[in-house]
């Protein structure tokens, strides 16, 4: 005999879909972290309704228009007017700012990125990113670069940079920066990046490594 609980579960599965949503949230100390949540949504709604639902419940402090946000499924943006009943229940989604990374995403996925480099703001010195992961740090004059791609030790404030401070990585969709230890100071556009929480970066973002201020340049994006 079917229990009342099973009957209610079957009704819920017919009328709702369950999604795993990754989103950026403020962390302790003013940084940015990532959080995964489980969201249950009615199938007759559209994806724009799911954006509204997630923002209002999980990011109530957000002051940007809801239309500024969009879901990504793997590498592809999900259209706002797509009905939830067309989505597979259990799908993993990522909520991002619209247009913040979309052009860069398309350039990465189609191989149009021509050059990636960091530029120190005060001197204009350029550090090419020729391979990934690209480790950012500081070496002594008696040492060799080794696995270090970007050496900031010669900068005026280079002593505030640790040996292996941060690293830049990429996949088919995004370019990321990651803080390599809990004690390192790393910020993107004045927002702290916590250890163990890689953050996507885009063309012209400012990156503070220790007290060395850099701008990332991505040509072709």
pLDDT in tens, 101-146: 555 555 555 556 668 899 999 999 999 998 889 999 998 655 555 5
Residues 120 and 94 in one domain: no
- Count of beta carbons in the 10 Å neighbourhood of residue 173: 19
Asked if the model's pLDDT at residue 180 lies above 90, the reply is: yes
Q: If you ran DSSP here, which 8-state letter would residue 160 be given?
A: G
Number of domains in the chain: 2
Matching residue, tokens 């706002």: 80
Asked if the model's pLDDT at residue 3 lies above 90, the reply is: no
- Token digits for 45? 């709604």
- Backbone φ and ψ of 55, nearest 5°: -60, -45
| 15: in domain | yes
- Count of beta carbons in the 10 Å neighbourhood of residue 42: 13
For the residues 84-110, what does the mean pLDDT come to? 71
| 162: in domain | yes
Rg of the chain in Å (alpha carbons): 21
State the pLDDT confidence band at 98, using cuts at 50, 70 and 90. Answer: low
Rounded to two decimals, what is the model's pTM?
0.56
Q: If you ran DSSP here, which 8-state letter would residue 66 be given?
A: G
| 184: in domain | yes
Residues 131 and 72 in one domain: no
Q: Which domain range does residue 80 map to?
A: 4-98
State the pLDDT confidence band at 208, using cuts at 50, 70 and 90. Answer: very high
Residues 164 and 66 in one domain: no
pLDDT at position 144 is 52
Residues 79 and 176 in one domain: no
């Amino acid at each position: 005999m079917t229990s009342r609980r099973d009957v209610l579960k079957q009704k819920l599965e017919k009328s709702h879909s369950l999604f795993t949503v990754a989103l950026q949230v403020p962390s302790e100390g003013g940084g940015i972290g990532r959080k995964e949540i489980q969201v249950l949504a009615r199938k007759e709604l559209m994806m724009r309704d799911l954006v509204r639902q997630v923002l209002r419940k999980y990011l109530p402090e957000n002051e940007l228009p809801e239309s500024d946000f969009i879901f990504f499924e793997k590498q592809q943006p999900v259209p706002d007017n797509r009905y939830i009943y067309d989505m597979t229940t259990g799908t993993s989604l990522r909520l991002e700012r619209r247009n913040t990374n979309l052009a860069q995403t398309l350039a990465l996925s189609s191989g149009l990125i021509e050059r990636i480099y960091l530029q120190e703001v005060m001197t204009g010195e350029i550090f090419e990113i020729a391979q990934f992961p690209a480790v950012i740090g500081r070496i002594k004059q008696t040492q060799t670069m080794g696995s270090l791609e970007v050496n900031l030790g010669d900068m005026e404030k280079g002593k505030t940079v640790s040996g292996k401070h941060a690293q830049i990585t990429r996949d088919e969709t995004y370019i990321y920066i990651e803080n390599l230890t809990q004690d390192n100071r790393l910020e993107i556009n004045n927002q702290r990046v916590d250890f163990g929480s890689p953050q996507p970066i885009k063309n012209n973002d400012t990156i503070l490594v220790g007290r060395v201020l850099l701008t990332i340049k991505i040509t072709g994006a």
